[in-house]
Structure 1
Amino acid sequence: MSDLSPYDTLGVEESASFEEIQRAKEILLTENEGNAQIKEDVEIAYDAIIMDRLKLRQEGKIKVPEQIRFPEKVVEAKKSPISFNYSGASKRSPNWLTDLIDQPSMQELSISGLIFLALILLSVFSQDSQILPLLLTFGLGTSFFFVFRKSKAFWRSVGVSFFGFVIAISLSSLLATVIANSGLSLGFSNEQFVSLLTFSLLWLSANFTR
């Protein structure tokens, strides 16, 4: 990997966004956790790209995100699991939560949003109630696709997608029951209402988890 350019080492294009570069770095570090040499090469390539971006910013050629203007502070913060607030109290960052939460790009939000919007419209306006289970299955598969696309870990993606689906359909069913018991009219069947909410929650899960 040492003979490759920094961008080739991370497997990204030179036009890649900061989010794409950072995500590629995190994926490579996770996949090569036991290989110290590869991890070192990845860190060196990442730092080289950041310094290159800072140089371009100083020349007025690009706009660099705020979080990479001072990379030495970012590195220092990553090395220490303890952070201090102004009152002097310490806090420990939960690594499992940091690994689970993702910050999607507008393109990812738009593409997945169109797919889930189509599923919502089909579930709400379809006259055949037997199609709803098929649409929900497709929604689960879509959620898995977007999570796997980011994490590149098959079983992790299966677990995240399935767990998100169970939570989504459980919350949707509970809310539908509460509304039905209150006497409010939804304008469509409970099954359609559950599908609508489930797809909305699956969209959130597919984009903001990895």
Structure 2
Amino acid sequence: MEEKRMSEQNPYEILEVAENASFEDIQTARDRIIQMHPEDEKCRQTVEAAYDSVLMDRLRKRQEGKIKVPEGIRFAERLAEKKPPKLSMPQLNSSSNWVQQSLDQPDLQEVTIVGACYTALAGFALFSQSVDTLAFLLALGVGFSLYWLNRKEQKLGRAFLLTVAALAVGALVGSALLQTGLQTDPVKPESILSCVMFVMLWLVDSFLR
């Protein structure tokens, strides 16, 4: 009897809304009735049919100029025209922010200046026969590295850490190179080690900040 009674009602009565109800009220009424009968499939179909009928009635009235319908409303005849939303893949950064912030893009003049300084220090180191002289040259290299890195970001602590890291990596690379049995005569192994450390300082000072 309930289904028969609903079928005899007009769409507005099924949705329990007035004919001048807003679209929001119509949609709310449809959802409310369906939620009240969650397991009643026939009721849901009846309510959906009534909802589509109301929308078709509103469309007809809009075409006749009797009402104004928002563009975003869903009309039954437009369902087939709906296109699936386009999916866009999220853009992934090629490198993390901290890497991008650490890298520097020096011009040729800066690279040349830094390279000339460390080349001069490496040249003196190659011909040095004194450990004290090598220590002095490394101290000059450290001082220059601290100055050059600090002038980029005005962060002395960061400049110090990068300089220490360059020395450590240079020492490891130089030690590994000497352990391969590289013939260094007449150059002292300590001089070769110093030169490798100067190369690492040059790379860090030129391309990091």
> What is the aligned partner in structure 2 of residue 111 from structure 1?
113
In 2: Cα distance, 1:157 partner to 1:169 partner:
18
Q: How far 1:151 sits from its partner (Å)? A: 1.1
In 2: Cα distance, 1:206 partner to 1:137 partner:
15
Structure 2: give runs of 5+ residues left out of the alignment.
1-88
Q: How far 1:173 sits from its partner (Å)? A: 1.6
> What is the aligned partner in structure 2 of residue 194 from structure 1?
193
> What is the aligned partner in structure 1 of residue 165 from structure 2?
163
The C-alpha deviation readout for 1:128-175, integer Å capped at 9, x for no partner, is 232111111211111111111111111111112222221122221222
What is the letter of the counterpart of residue 126 of structure 1?
S
> What is the aligned partner in structure 2 of residue 91 from structure 1?
92
In 2: Cα distance, 1:177 partner to 1:151 partner:
37
Number of residue pairs matched by the alignment: 120
What is the letter of the counterpart of residue 144 of structure 2?
T
In 2: Cα distance, 1:162 partner to 1:206 partner:
12
Q: How far 1:89 sits from its partner (Å)? A: 7.1
What is the letter of the counterpart of residue 91 of structure 1?
L
Which of 137, 140, 152 is equivalent to 1:138?
Answer: 140
RMSD (CA atoms): 1.9
What is the letter of the counterpart of residue 183 of structure 2?
S
> What is the aligned partner in structure 1 of residue 153 from structure 2?
151
* 1:203 partnered with 2:185: no
* 1:185 partnered with 2:187: no
Task: State the TM-score, normalized to the length of structure 1.
Answer: 0.53
> What is the aligned partner in structure 2 of residue 28 from structure 1?
none
Give every structure 1 segment of 4 or more consecutive aligned residues whose post-TM-superposition deviation is greater than 4 Å: none
In 1: Cα distance, 2:155 partner to 2:208 partner:
13
Task: State the TM-score, normalized to the length of structure 2.
Answer: 0.53
Greater CA drift, 159-168 or 119-128: 159-168
SS of aligned partner of 1:148:
helix
